[in-house]
Structure 1
Amino acid sequence: MADRCSPTFDQLATELGFSCQEAGGLVEVRSPLALENWTLPVLEATIVLGSVLALVLAIVRLRRNGDPTNLVLWFGATAYLFIIEPPLYFPAAFGIEDHVDTMFAHNVFTVDFLWGRLPLYIIAIYPLMATLAFEIVRMLGVFRRYGVLVGAVCVGFVHHAFYEIFDHLGPQLRWWEWSTENPLNQPMFDSVPLPSVVVFAALWPMSLAFCVQFFVGRHVDRGQRFSGLQLVWRTAVIGVLASLGTFILPLPATVLGMGSTTARGVLYATELVVVTLVATWILVRQWLALRRGNSDVPAYTNDFVRRYSVVYLSVMALLWVSALPDYAGTVDGVTSNGDPVGNLWYTAACFTVAILCVVATFTVPHRQPAGNNIASAGAHAATGT
């Protein structure tokens, strides 16, 4: 509808190949064969299927083990999405249009919400990515041995690796387009705003993981049980506080870097380097301790996360391979089709980190609690202590 089309969004939508004025209402469904290219339905199916499975197995774990951590994580990430994203889609409706212009536009997928603003897979990717990163860190026993804050830093680091593989590919394959003129997106790191690389790939999952483990996970580790009402209010609080954390954690860059794109970029990069150094040291140290039997942390396993991480990385590798011919012919960072490309070397580094993290979960001891028959029931992801 025309009254919902800001000039910036209308321009981005046109460049992506659809009309903002003709975008559907609250919900729109289209044929996957009618999308921009074949990579869109492949991405959509991978993310939505993984997110649904993560939800199902989180429910299984709650019912069979009394552990609501995964379920709270799933809904906490979803709550965060619905707090953060709508104002970015409709700044005028929230009275912030004088401060926040449209930052990006998603392409249209098989299922879209909110007049072409919110694809279903975006709703799904928040809880799926959060689950993969959180559970990898949890399987390595980081939370139990090093505490809530250090564990959250490691989650932010792992999430960053998984997410940036996706983030640096999206603009080239027209999954979305950034408004490069928007000062909030500056500085750019090839086709990706550096604030996205740091805040949405590392700091928000760090904030979410801290809240989930603080309000639920650490208590579950001590044997505490929660009522349904307790879980509802804790999940709501987690969504709100994780959103506040996304505002608070990048403050050094947003405040001290005010007025200078270069200074802001350096400060964002510094925050990411700190997260990377701390997390790398902790994850390697903990993996070695588990391998050598020097850690008395009870092993925890989530077979769904281990296996679906492999699926996700395999699909993303396929999509990257499909994009390499056009990538190789880029001129000044733009393909012959006019699409900006991400940073291949940075993506390769993220692939390496993500693969090593997944391999680590397959190479540490796993101890099943007595009487646990979940694996035999086909719900491997719900095992652990």
Structure 2
Amino acid sequence: MAEHCAPTFDQLAHSLGFSCDSAGGLIEVRNPFALENWTLPVLETTVILGSVLALVLAIVRLRRHGDPTNLVLWFGATAYLFIIEPPLYFPAAFGISGHVDTMFAHNVFTVDFLWGRLPLYIVAIYPFMATLAYEIVRMLGVFRTHGAVIGAACVGFVHHAFYEIFDQIGPQLRWWEWSTSNSLNQPMFDSVPLPSVVVFAALWPMSLAFCVYWFVGRHEDRGDRFSGIQLVWRTIVIGLLASLGTFILPLPATVLGAGSTTVRGTIYALELVAVTIVAIPTLYRRWASLRREGPSGSAYTNDFVRGYSVVYLVVMAVLWLTALPDFLDATHGRTRDGDPIGNPWYTLACFALAIVCTAGVLTLPKGSATTRAVEMSEFRDVSG
């Protein structure tokens, strides 16, 4: 695939320590102890394990309760990945190189696909993060109470908080590198493009969550059941429409901000503010309402998400703490090794919000003894 090695990708790859010639083939497996630094295998282990366990939980829920929501969410997020990402890796192969240049390059990890473009952990992070965010909002009963639009906005908000903890540290630890000369990545928010902060951290999971609830979740709430064929086509449609939503939702910034980086950045920020204004009071009111109402036999809980949210936050906290000396020693936004640093205050705010969301579902009233027994049985199945 050397013929599809764009100059920008080649430049980014060399800055990360590899080249198109050494990027491997369709699939490449490497020694995890020979990667760029020790944080890469820690990151991929955390994400891949979480994604696999989320998939197991989804299968268990479908088999035991006939609830396909988690499974459709998992595969819908994966379908979205394979629709969105390949054109970004090989714009020439998709005939869009005249409009889209390489936006970023991932470093090489233990398992890579597509000639070093797609690490396995990136395949895993889409359904993993989507599951954490969707299930936190679902446990708070937002979808059932407020419907698809408000529920989706809350999922986008929660996903954004969890994702930006990871997004803001990635460039410093050489997990990937952005092309800062690409106009699609402008304006930059320290080491991260603001379009990524808004679109990929908040708007795409919002689009996915809306589609999942509209096509499956609301029917599940009514007790409807689907055949295998119905689930397959709904999952494919969810992936396609979620991709379309990722194009539609940023349109105000794309259209009104054409020709002005400042205007585009301002509109992106306003879209994120709008999601936040909707989500924070909604999530708090639902949590407070459930705390007042006390235990409910019909309450939905997900002990895997409750537990693994804590695992994810602890791992990310450790990674941030170990990166802190270089971060604090950075000058002009770069470490001594020349790696760009993220925004500390934004990261702290996202950490705080993610911790509050996790604490919120951990402090919900326990359901009935029967409900708790079923949930704990599922959790034991998932955790082995």
Does the alignment reach a TM-score above 0.5?
yes
SS in 1 for 2:138: helix
Cα offset, 1:377, TM superposition: 3.3
State the alpha-carbon separation in 1 of the partners of residues 313 and 15 from structure 2.
29
C-alpha contact (below 8 Å) 1:142/1:151 kept by paired residues: yes
The structure-2 alpha-carbon separation of the partners of 1:379 and 1:25, relative to structure 1 and needing over 3 Å to count, comes to: same
State the Cα deviation string for residues 285-334 of structure 1 (Å, max 9, x = none): 11111111289894210000000000000000000001100000111100
Aligned to 1:85: 85
Aligned to 2:194: 194
Cα offset, 1:357, TM superposition: 0.3
- The worse-fitting range, judged by mean Cα deviation, of 82-91 and 366-375 is 366-375
1:47 aligns to 2:59 (yes or no): no
State the alpha-carbon separation in 2 of the partners of residues 375 and 369 from structure 1.
10
Aligned to 1:364: 364
The structure-2 alpha-carbon separation of the partners of 1:172 and 1:122, relative to structure 1 and needing over 3 Å to count, comes to: same
State the alpha-carbon separation in 1 of the partners of residues 368 and 233 from structure 2.
31
Aligned to 1:178: 178
The percentage of aligned residue pairs carrying the same residue is: 74
Gaps of 5+ in 1: none
C-alpha contact (below 8 Å) 1:302/1:381 kept by paired residues: no
Cα offset, 1:157, TM superposition: 0.1
RMSD after superposition: 1.6
Q: Normalising to structure 2: TM-score of the pair?
A: 0.97
Aligned to 2:103: 103
Aligned to 1:139: 139
Aligned to 1:350: 350
State the alpha-carbon separation in 2 of the partners of residues 377 and 297 from structure 1.
16
Aligned to 1:309: 309
SS in 1 for 2:230: helix
State the alpha-carbon separation in 2 of the partners of residues 321 and 198 from structure 1.
25
State the alpha-carbon separation in 2 of the partners of residues 298 and 375 from structure 1.
12
SS in 2 for 1:28: strand
Instruction: Read off the aligned partner of 1:127 and give its amino acid letter.
Output: P
Whose helix proportion is higher, 1 or 2? Answer: 2
Aligned to 2:126: 126
State the alpha-carbon separation in 2 of the partners of residues 366 and 381 from structure 1.
20
Cα offset, 1:188, TM superposition: 0.2
The structure-2 alpha-carbon separation of the partners of 1:258 and 1:295, relative to structure 1 and needing over 3 Å to count, comes to: farther
1:251 aligns to 2:251 (yes or no): yes
Gaps of 5+ in 2: none
Aligned to 2:334: 334
Instruction: Read off the aligned partner of 1:53 and give its amino acid letter.
Output: L
Aligned to 1:322: 322
SS in 1 for 2:28: strand
State the alpha-carbon separation in 2 of the partners of residues 228 and 245 from structure 1.
25
State the Cα deviation string for residues 188-247 of structure 1 (Å, max 9, x = none): 000000000000000000000000000000100110011000000000000000000000
C-alpha contact (below 8 Å) 1:138/1:300 kept by paired residues: yes
C-alpha contact (below 8 Å) 1:72/1:212 kept by paired residues: yes
Cα offset, 1:366, TM superposition: 3.1
State the alpha-carbon separation in 2 of the partners of residues 235 and 226 from structure 1.
12
1:205 aligns to 2:215 (yes or no): no
Equivalent residue pairs, number: 382
- The worse-fitting range, judged by mean Cα deviation, of 278-287 and 126-135 is 278-287
Q: Post-superposition, which runs of at least 4 consecutive aligned residues in structure 1 deviate over 2 A?
A: 294-298, 368-382
The structure-2 alpha-carbon separation of the partners of 1:303 and 1:296, relative to structure 1 and needing over 3 Å to count, comes to: closer
State the alpha-carbon separation in 1 of the partners of residues 371 and 259 from structure 2.
61
The structure-2 alpha-carbon separation of the partners of 1:249 and 1:99, relative to structure 1 and needing over 3 Å to count, comes to: same
Where in structure 2 are the equivalents of 1:57-68 lying within 5 Å?
A: 57-68=57-68
State the alpha-carbon separation in 2 of the partners of residues 238 and 297 from structure 1.
31
Cα offset, 1:2, TM superposition: 2.6
